[in-house]
Amino acid sequence: MSVYLITYELHFDKDYQKIHEAIESLGGCIHCLRSIWLVNTGFSIPEIHEILKDKIDSDDSLLILKPSREWDGLNLPIACKTWLKHHL
């Protein structure tokens, strides 16, 4: 299992439900900020990309990256900080 940060920018057709449901299907996750999710999953980055690319439009942006154990934040929701401390 690995933790990945997933973020997106939906441009015109903002169908958040499709992308949110797809992210939630990947495994244990938390929706930390408006368009930032952290997911603990057995899927690889290419597999996550394949799962999510059909849930957004061709002009939307998607970024998937593996965060390090080194992180900091300001005014993050408590649930997000707790999730990060537990999973990273």
| All residues at 6 or more sequence positions from 71 whose CB lies less than 8 Å from its CB, including other chains | 84, 88
- Is residue 13 over pLDDT 80? no
Sheet of 2-9: strands edge to edge?
28-33, 36-41, 2-9, 61-65
Architecture field, domain 2-87: 2-Layer Sandwich (3.30)
Taking each helix axis from N to C end, the angle separating 16-24 and 45-53, rounded to the nearest 10 degrees, works out to 150
**pTM of model > 0.75:** yes
Spell out a b/e string for 51-71, using b for 16 or more CB atoms within 10 Å of the CB, else e. Answer: ebeebbeeebebebeeeeeee
Domain ranges for the chain, please list them.
2-87
Digit-coded pLDDT (tens) for 22-64: 999 999 999 999 899 999 999 999 999 999 999 999 999 999 9
Distance between CA atoms of residues 59 and 17, nearest Å: 17
Specify whether the CB–CB gap between 38 and 84 falls below 8 A. Answer: yes
Residue 20's pLDDT band, with cuts at 50, 70 and 90, is very high
